[in-house]
């Protein structure tokens, strides 16, 4: 029976790989880092699939692994020091035009938990109960962080219109 379960996990990962990449990319904003996060998550999932007590919870279990891997890569990136070459990244900007914030910019301003909840709810279309399982938070905490985050995004987007 465990080999059937292993095969079902592999099939699930293969079927949903584009969603996983998209979620990792939404955190990392870098193709290679997102691919690394997905690869690390898949490896961890396949190494520890025997630890799942409830076989119905594969979806939330894998999302939790993927989010943790993405956050770990983000943390590692922030520890690195970058040397800026001012000649390398010259960007053409038209005079009188200053780019404003879009929804992604406003989302990135939120704390990591609120970002995670909003991404899982609207990009991955998970239910609030599934999000609570993925994040390990109480359902009421998920709701309050979701609505607070959406309110902050709305304020950010309105400021941009001014």
Distance from first CA to last CA of the chain, Å, rounded?
A: 60
Q: Residue 3: what pLDDT?
A: 75
Domain boundaries defined on the chain? 1-82, 91-162
Per-residue pLDDT of the chain (162 residues; tens, 9 = 90+): 457 899 999 999 999 999 999 999 999 989 999 999 999 999 999 999 998 888 888 999 999 999 999 999 988 887 654 544 444 444 444 443 344 557 888 888 899 999 999 999 998 999 999 999 999 999 999 999 999 999 999 998 887 666
Model pTM? Answer: 0.73
Cα-to-chain-centroid distance, residue 35: 13
One DSSP character per residue, 129-159 reads: HHHHHHHT--HHHHHHHHHHHHHHHHHHHHH
Which residue in the block uniquely carries the two structure tokens 């939330």? 60
The pLDDT of residue 146 is 96
Helix, strand, coil distribution of the chain in percent, nearest 5: 75, 0, 25
> Contact 71/65 with Cβ under 8 angstroms?
no
Please give the class, per CATH, of domain 91-162.
mainly alpha
Residue 46 Cα distances to 8, 35, 135, 153, angstroms: 11, 16, 20, 37
> Could you give the CA distance from residue 140 to residue 129 in angstroms, rounded to a whole number?
10
Q: What is the pLDDT of residue 160?
A: 66
Closest by CA position to 154, among listed 106, 105, 117: 106
What CATH number has the domain spanning 1-82?
1.10.1740.10
DSSP state of 83: P
Q: Report pLDDT for 162.
A: 60
The answer to whether the Cα torsion of 18, 22, 23, 28 is positive or negative is positive
Could you give the dihedral angle defined by the CA atoms of residues 102, 107, 63 and 81, in that order, rounded to the nearest 10 degrees?
100
CA distance 100 to 115: 20
pLDDT at 161: 66
């Amino acid at each position: 029976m465990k080999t059937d379960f292993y095969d079902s996990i592999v099939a699930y990962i293969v079927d949903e790989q584009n969603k996983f990449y998209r979620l990792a990319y939404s955190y990392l904003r870098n193709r290679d880092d997102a691919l690394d996060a997905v690869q690390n998550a898949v490896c961890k999932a396949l190494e520890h699939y025997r630890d799942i007590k409830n076989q119905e919870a594969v979806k939330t279990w894998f999302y939790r692994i993927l989010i943790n891997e993405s956050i770990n890569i983000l943390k590692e990136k922030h520890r690195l020091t970058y040397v800026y070459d001012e000649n390398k990244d010259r960007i053409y900007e038209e005079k009188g035009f200053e780019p404003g914030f879009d929804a992604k910019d406003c989302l990135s301003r939120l704390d990591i938990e609120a970002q995670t909840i909003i991404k899982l709810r609207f990009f991955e279309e998970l239910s609030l109960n599934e999000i609570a399982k993925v994040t390990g938070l109480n359902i009421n905490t998920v709701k309050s962080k979701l609505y607070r985050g959406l309110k902050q995004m709305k304020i950010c987007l309105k400021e941009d219109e001014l």
